[in-house]
Structure 1
Amino acid sequence: MELNNVKEAEALIIGAGPAGLTLAIDLARRGVAARIVERGERLFPGSRGKGLQPRTQEVFDDLGVMDAVRAAGGPYPPMMGWEDGRRLGAFEMIVRTGPAPGTPYHDIWMLPQWRTAEILYARLRELGGEVEFGAACTGLTQDADRVTAHLTYADGSTGTVRAAYAVAADGGRSTVRKALGIGMAGETVDPHPLLVADVTLAGLDRGHWHVWQHAKGGVLALCPLAGTDVFQAVAQYEDADATPDPAPEAVRRLITERTHLTEAEVGEVRWASPFRARAAMAERFRDGRVFLVGDAAHIHSPAGGQGLNTSVQDAYNLGWKLGAVLRGGADPVLLDSYEEERMPVAAGVLGISTRIHRAETERAAKAGGEPRRTAEVHQLGLTYRGAALAVDQRQQEATLRAGDRAPDAPCALPDGTPFRLFDAFRGPHVTVLALGGAEPPAPGRASVRTYRVGGPAPDLLDPDGHIRAGYGDQGVFVIRPDGYLGYTADSATDRTAEMTGYLTRLGA
């Protein structure tokens, strides 16, 4: 509603990048119509973060956009080294893995950031949401009950939003973070400036990611962006005092100077941006009723493809918790778990990005090609073990514990129809999985779905043993809406009250 030019909202999201859009989608499917405002006049136009890690693909599967993501993108190509106009040979930057029963998405998927944002925005609109473009948050205060945000629109007019909660998804220079007085500590990963640009090119095949490691002035890489007619150019400058020029004519000149391509073969520069690789993290991810997600909370080197993915997963972690408080009747104390869980993850992932960046720089300087990136960048092994929502009551030895990602597994319905655990998890609900005849507590609400595997009246069959291989022969598992194990026990016997209490904590 709107009173005296003050608009009311349950949740206000500031910033419509991948993190803000992911959060808006997750809230919309929970019946929370968040208001999302974006300073820019349109979605971000550049490729920047172009790699979707397997864990992010699982998130997008749950949010209903994975078919569009697969159709629009493609796998990473091998790299091709160049020197003096001749090919030096192909090499792999990443270690490629095959699918496994527990990991249906097993390799990084290339999709330029602008296309990811388009797909997420389309999904948000399907769910009835919208983005207010040209609306900058210019001030923010809060009291015990609400957050008050002051907006300035592109036409010069102003407005005010009062919301129960606000989320800053407004990037590394976050206006909201600064307004809250939250510091950001970090370091310069590499003193040498870089420039990234989206360019149309002729004269290069699109089956390789082309790199000139010994180009005069610094390394240059030209990567064909899957699903487009564009290459992403990334140029490093040997001179730490250089000032990269993003003007189209300067970008075209840089490419012709560092490669064998002619002026006629370097076409339109659609977007360009200079930057310096930094690693930094906010000193806290929450201030009262305001939360930080994505680059507003942590800034990464682009090496390793961790920044966008960590941002999406921040939003995915926060979305179900806000929904549980606003719609599920959960105690607001549930929201304390966002910072508790995401700050250690962000710190660990920042370390991976920084280490990979420095290793690549050192390797390139020694003329050895780029180091291969292993499955550590896939983010499938990230865990919330030890956090307040990870309650592990299993007595038996098990590699899978509360706080871990819940793996997928091919299985079947009682009539033999093929099914997957991810089919059971998909949606805004909590899932209870009972193995080996364990009897789960009866759910009190439709927001909990139970599946018995084995026993006299199974809901799922495990003919090939994939569920047992992932979860063990017996046990009861509460899978949170974000696909992580919350509560685990060997049996529900004598634990019904305890498990019911845990489900209530989740707002289920």
Structure 2
Amino acid sequence: MPETDVLIAGAGPTGLVLALWLHVQGVKIRIVDQGEGPAPNSRALAVHARILELYHQLDLADELIEHGYQLPATNVWVNGSHRAHINLRQFGTGLTPYPYLLTLPQDEHERLLEKRLNSFGIFVERKTKLQKFVDNGSSITATLASANGHESTCEAAYIVGCDGAHSAVRHGIGAKYEGGTYVPLFYIADIVAEEQDSPLFNGEAHLTFVDETFNLILPYVEERHVRLIGTTIPKTNGTQETDISESQHEVTFEDVLPEIKKTSKIEIQKVNWFSTYRSHHRVADKFRSNRAFLVGDAAHIHSPVGGQGMNTGIMDAINLAWKLATVIKHPSMTEEAKNALLDTYEPERRSFALDVVGATDHGFTVLTSSGFLPHILRAWVIPYLIPLVTRLETVRMEIFRRGSQLVCSYRGNRMLNQTTQGSEAVQPGDRLPWVKTEQQDNFSTLRDICWQVHVYGDSLVGLEEWCKTKHVQLTIFDWDEKHGKVGLKEGSAYLLRPDQYIAGIFEGDDLKSKLDEYFSTRGLLC
């Protein structure tokens, strides 16, 4: 028998979340990382609403909110002139319990996750690198190397690569990492501003454009403590691609300071740290090979536009965790059923990753490209048109849905119970819509990582008996017109997966048989 159920390579946010969600579901894990500890500085800052909703399962959301900063608004500046002020507080109202963008540095985020993992008696094995692994068919054998060069092996039922863009697991399964590298060099700085009455340090975000140069200022902790992000085109002797790797390490903060002052006109008191990095847009051609899986940057990597990368990786981890836990904790499942469930990970998450990479690539191109059309978009469309259209509630809500990843859906998956309800109705594969009435909040039951059934209206015949027999949590909500407004149907039974997505919608007579058929035809055990 393997010594552990799952070996996790990499202890960034995705690896730590995967470890937490697996452990809580009773899965034995080992997690290794070649670093000495959480990164002392990091570029990921945004934590979106969908992540906070899922963190609610382990009581992590409130802790992150306590340490983070809720961004109230964003501003657009063009050539030193203030062109737009967009109030972000209105965008997500009514869509989620967390209708805002939370900023929290990734290193602090990691420390909170690791602290929770440690509270369960599980510790990251630091200074330990995954050298290689062999898939034996029924298990994997991994070779691990410590900092002193000592090698050891680990037998595991599964291995998950959360080991970043240079993933050893991705190389091990022979996955291609298709995409490209952006020519502009990103720089990122953690700065404290001088005591001044600058409008750029008012606790709001600021996007500034001068020609093809832009800066993004994101506050966190306090008004004058901000994260500054920008791009620069390094000197390349006329051939940008030739010197792309060498140019990254030649740029210092003093080199980009003139560009920063040109775009932002700020006085800086202190630079806590400064870093440059090359951004890529790539998606692996496969996320699974038998007993090996890719999660996060090991599977996909994108430009930082919209702060989507880390959030997408965390959703990968939670999607995979319940599926691995199901096949590990239910040995009576057939191999065919296990593989069918695990096979859903790649199409569900790779499809969404492709959408995110496409959207962020388009956004980055608009922000940095030269030419007449990009100039018009930066100087006129973004500053003037967006504030106008965001006055419409439907536009604000759609922007929030997309930016916060509430829009993520897994419709069409064979593991779902397909329905013929209208296109406006909630469908299997969708995130369960959040509804708060005067009496009840339908997310209040989603703390447990388990199968659940929700009914909005009167309970259906036989449902309570079935749920009791199968040990499935059942919650019946008094019908309210708010339920209908978000696409829920009165009297229908909504079967929820452990990751809070709708697996099936059932209604009518003989509900017990319909639910039994759903699980039996897919070989699933709840």
TM-score, normalised with respect to structure 1? 0.85
Question: Is 1:141 equivalent to 2:157 in the alignment?
Answer: no
Quick one: distance in 2 between partners of 1:445 and 1:13?
Answer: 35
Question: Which of 208, 216, 225 does residue 204 from structure 2 map onto?
Answer: 208
Question: Which of 172, 188, 191 does residue 196 from structure 1 map onto?
Answer: 188
Structure 1, unaligned runs of 5 or more:
2-6, 413-417, 454-459
Question: Which of 115, 119, 127 does residue 122 from structure 1 map onto?
Answer: 115
Classify 1:476/1:88 alpha carbon distance in 2 versus 1 (closer, same or farther; 3 Å).
closer
Residue 394 of structure 1 contacts residue 490 of structure 1 at CA under 8 Å; is this kept in 2?
no
Shift of 1:291: 0.5
Question: Which of 421, 426, 434 does residue 442 from structure 2 map onto?
Answer: 421
Residue 279 of structure 1 contacts residue 301 of structure 1 at CA under 8 Å; is this kept in 2?
yes
Q: Deviations over 1:464-489 (max 9, x none)?
A: 44334441112111100111110112
TM-score, normalised with respect to structure 2? 0.83
Quick one: distance in 2 between partners of 1:350 and 1:63?
Answer: 29
After TM superposition, the structure 1 stretch with the greater mean CA deviation from structure 2, 367-376 or 302-311, is 367-376
- Name the structure 2 match of 1:4: none
Count of residues paired in the alignment: 483
Structure 2, unaligned runs of 5 or more:
241-245, 387-395
Residue 409 of structure 1 contacts residue 466 of structure 1 at CA under 8 Å; is this kept in 2?
yes
Shift of 1:118: 1.6
Classify 1:198/1:10 alpha carbon distance in 2 versus 1 (closer, same or farther; 3 Å).
same
Residue 428 of structure 1 contacts residue 447 of structure 1 at CA under 8 Å; is this kept in 2?
no
Shift of 1:263: 11
Classify 1:489/1:58 alpha carbon distance in 2 versus 1 (closer, same or farther; 3 Å).
same
Question: Which of 148, 166, 172 does residue 173 from structure 1 map onto?
Answer: 166
Identity in percent? 28
Question: Which of 122, 147, 159 does residue 154 from structure 1 map onto?
Answer: 147
Classify 1:210/1:202 alpha carbon distance in 2 versus 1 (closer, same or farther; 3 Å).
farther
- Name the structure 2 match of 1:272: 275
Higher helix share: 2
Residue identity matched to 2:467: P
Classify 1:292/1:103 alpha carbon distance in 2 versus 1 (closer, same or farther; 3 Å).
same
User: Root-mean-square deviation (CA), in Å?
Assistant: 3.1
Quick one: distance in 2 between partners of 1:44 and 1:482?
Answer: 28
Quick one: distance in 2 between partners of 1:246 and 1:20?
Answer: 28
- Name the structure 2 match of 1:332: 338
Shift of 1:20: 0.9
Residue 78 of structure 1 contacts residue 208 of structure 1 at CA under 8 Å; is this kept in 2?
yes
- Name the structure 2 match of 1:15: 10
- Name the structure 2 match of 1:250: 252
After TM superposition, the structure 1 stretch with the greater mean CA deviation from structure 2, 22-31 or 88-97, is 88-97
Classify 1:80/1:409 alpha carbon distance in 2 versus 1 (closer, same or farther; 3 Å).
closer
- Name the structure 1 match of 2:179: 186
Quick one: distance in 2 between partners of 1:160 and 1:220?
Answer: 47
- For residues 287-298 of structure 1, the aligned pairs below 5 Å read 287-298=289-300
After TM superposition, the structure 1 stretch with the greater mean CA deviation from structure 2, 401-410 or 227-236, is 227-236
Classify 1:27/1:63 alpha carbon distance in 2 versus 1 (closer, same or farther; 3 Å).
same
Residue identity matched to 2:350: M
Q: Which SS does the other structure have where 2:116 is aligned?
A: helix
- For residues 424-439 of structure 1, the aligned pairs below 5 Å read 424-435=445-456, 436-439=458-461
Shift of 1:495: 4.2
Residue 246 of structure 1 contacts residue 272 of structure 1 at CA under 8 Å; is this kept in 2?
no
Quick one: distance in 2 between partners of 1:95 and 1:72?
Answer: 19
Q: Deviations over 1:421-472 (max 9, x none)?
A: 2111221111012343313251366752012x3xxxxxx434x443344411
Residue identity matched to 2:355: G
Shift of 1:271: 4.7
Question: Which of 20, 36, 49 does residue 25 from structure 1 map onto?
Answer: 20
- For residues 256-405 of structure 1, the aligned pairs below 5 Å read 258-259=260-261, 265-276=268-279, 278-329=280-331, 330=333, 331-333=337-339, 334-362=341-369, 365-366=375-376, 368=379, 370=382, 374-375=399-400, 376-393=402-419, 399-405=425-431
Quick one: distance in 2 between partners of 1:34 and 1:227?
Answer: 38
- For residues 412-491 of structure 1, the aligned pairs below 5 Å read 418-435=439-456, 436-439=458-461, 440=463, 442-443=466-467, 448-451=472-475, 453=476, 460-462=477-479, 464-470=480-486, 471-491=488-508
Question: Which of 51, 55, 59 does residue 60 from structure 1 map onto?
Answer: 55
Classify 1:206/1:275 alpha carbon distance in 2 versus 1 (closer, same or farther; 3 Å).
farther
